[in-house]
Structure 1
């Protein structure tokens, strides 16, 4: 069996399994993380830790705990996407730029480091919704956008600025390439063509004609970017997911990796793409089938996740009590003086401890 772990609101494989993937549906179980966290025994099989970019830090730590418990199950258990090691969007894109694999850089809004090249756009650090801004062509345009966010009481946390890296062809079309990794296989998925710089698979925005279908057919059969994409997936520590990317100046430019991408039950863009969709579906199902683990092994006992020790709980309680007492120690100027004094004492104490 294959257990695909997702957040409760994003079972993104279910429509596909109800349609083209029906033959494999009895062997793939979409399993919500809350169910996983509550379980005290789990069956052997293949566990795909998907949807990691939608988990909180605490949930990622809980998922990592379950991963370690399952890892003790030996050959009866196969694990994909180690929760803590998987590089999230910002970390991955920054690393790809530093390694010279991406020509564009990314910046956190609260990082205090201005973009080196424009245009840029703003989007969330996690999740896979549309971008937050239009293309911003210079520093004043970016600052104006950020001022509007501040005026709306929007926090800069969890938001990144991305340098735009894309190009049109002679017909004025942008391309968004995609490929899956499923275990050891890299599977070309599709090319979406569009006239807007943010190419998305929405029917009214896609350009589909004989030329695009011919190019997409060559892409699916020739698999031209496998070597580069395998390196990217390895750097990301992702064994299951879909990479979205462009090709600019002949160089692959990775935009993101989604560990729980939605797979439609029918081809997007109409009947011209039916053969392309069928080719991908067959390849994807074959790769999933290869992930199935052995049947018949005994269930695994999952211990309760570790909680904070008594000492840690006491420390947190003492900290809350101390800072609460400081806040009630007098008017705000007195609080500020007492806080500065406390910080100096803490630094002094740490230095003394370090000296010994």
Structure 2
């Protein structure tokens, strides 16, 4: 069994993959919330993927590290992916990537009084996937005005960072953001988003013939990107996640790594998903090799003192599980061959 640990309110990512792949193809994938695991104080034996670090408190990450270390000590056959003691999150990762010469832009923690040494920059939350708090700031005067404005709007500096702007549009006028997913060491192109704005959250053009052709050509010739990304994931200590990146003057630049990425619904009838489906299924299957034989759950103690309490009942995860089994039953009735 391969257990995927997520926050309870963000478990739809792996459930969406299970629903899209078909329940008989991935019987070994078992989503579980941190809240459920921590409240039980017992971890089922199997392989584990730790995710969602940006949504966890420092105490929750300490608890996750305790679980990982306890599992390793109890059963060396258990494989731990994204060990909480090894994963670098956004700010330390971006700093490290600049130090090793992969990235060419800097990042500064504003709540520690650090000031950018290069401009332009933008301000954003360190643990967030939403738009930045500001547009591009071109000098210290604009930075000071932006900080004053944030204060008026009630936005605290805690866990706010200034990120140096480093992006470049292509000759066709689009900024491109690539998504390369690492599934236990197998690097796969997940998407290419194109937007006329420098901050690319969603693509403006995804379904025309040119975008489909561009994706398929890169998907079949991904070795050059994958070679750099392998170094990035090794630096980050991340075995499962998606790197979002772009290119500036031909150099690959990583913006972040999401350890709990949304995976496309592979049932969609598009050429790109026909290519993604077998590759991703094989990669997930490899993460579960060799399959763990199971056994008695491993008890663990949470670090003391316990500043946070974990709910004994996880209704959202239970609702997802109920929905999954209803979906599986209805699918099997429609097509017993699945």
The change in CA–CA distance for 1:190 and 1:299 in structure 2 (over 3 A counts) is: same
1:307 is matched with which residue: 304, 309, 324? 304
Partner of 1:23: 24
* Equivalent residue runs for 1:140-151 within 5 Å: 140-151=141-152
Q: Closer, same or farther in 2 for the Cα pair 1:176/1:213, shift >3 Å?
A: same
What are the equivalent positions in structure 2 for 1:63-78 lying under 5 Å apart? Answer: 63-78=64-79
Q: List aligned pairs for 1:205-220, cutoff 5 A.
A: 205-220=204-219
Cα distance in 2 for partners of 1:282, 1:304 equals 40
Matches for 1:1-356 after TM superposition, within 5 Å: 1-11=1-11, 12-201=13-202, 205-223=204-222, 224-265=224-265, 274-292=270-288, 293-308=290-305
Count, aligned residues: 303
**Following the alignment from structure 1 to structure 2, what is the Cα–Cα distance between the partners of residues 201 and 70?**
39
1:118 shift after superposition: 2.3
Cα distance change on mapping 1:181 and 1:62 into 2, 3 Å:
same
Deviates most, 118-127 or 63-72: 118-127
Paired with 1:252 and 1:21, the residues of 2 have a C-alpha distance of 35
Contact 2:205 2:211 in 1 (8 A): no
8 Å contact 1:44–1:76 — kept in the other structure?
no
Displacement after TM superposition at 1:17 (Å): 1.3
Give, in whole Å, the separation in 1 of the partners of 2:127 and 2:265: 25
Q: Report how far residue 295 of structure 1 moved.
A: 4.3
SS in 2 for 1:189: strand
Relative distance call for 1:140 and 1:281 in structure 2 (3 A) is farther
| 1:149-191 Cα distance to aligned partner (Å, 9 max, x none) | 1123322111111111111112111100111111121112221
Which structure has the larger Rg over C-alpha atoms? 1
Whole-Å separation in 2 of the counterparts to 1:40 and 1:59 = 13
What is the Cα-based RMSD across aligned positions, in Å? 2.1
Give the whole-Å Cα distance in 1 for the aligned partners of 2:185 and 2:172.
Answer: 36
Q: Structure 1 residues 278 and 130, CA, compared in 2 at 3 Å: closer, same or farther?
A: farther
Write the deviation string for residues 287-322 of structure 1: whole angstroms up to 9, x where unpaired: 01111252433123223224249xxxxxxxxxxxxx
CA–CA distance in structure 2, aligned partners of residues 296 and 185 of structure 1:
24
| Greater RCO (Cα-Cα under 8 Å, separation 6 or more) | 2
Separation of aligned partners in 2, 1:129 and 1:107 = 19
Q: TM-score, structure 1 length as denominator?
A: 0.80
2:280 and 2:26 map into 1 onto residues whose CA distance is 13
- Which SS does the other structure have where 1:130 is aligned? coil
Aligned-partner Cα distance in 1 for 2:76–2:304: 29
SS of corresponding position for 2:256:
strand
Deviations 1:47-88 (A, max 9, x none): 000111211101110110000111124354111011122101
SS in 1 for 2:27: helix
- 1:37 Cα deviation from its structure 2 partner: 1.1
Query: 1-side partners of 2:89 and 2:267: how far apart?
Result: 29
Q: Greater shift after overlay, 296-305 or 166-175?
A: 296-305
- The answer on whether the counterparts of 1:181 and 1:240 sit within 8 Å (CA) in structure 2 is yes
- C-alpha separation in 2, matches of 1:242 and 1:307: 33
Which structure 2 segments of 5+ residues have no match? Answer: 307-338
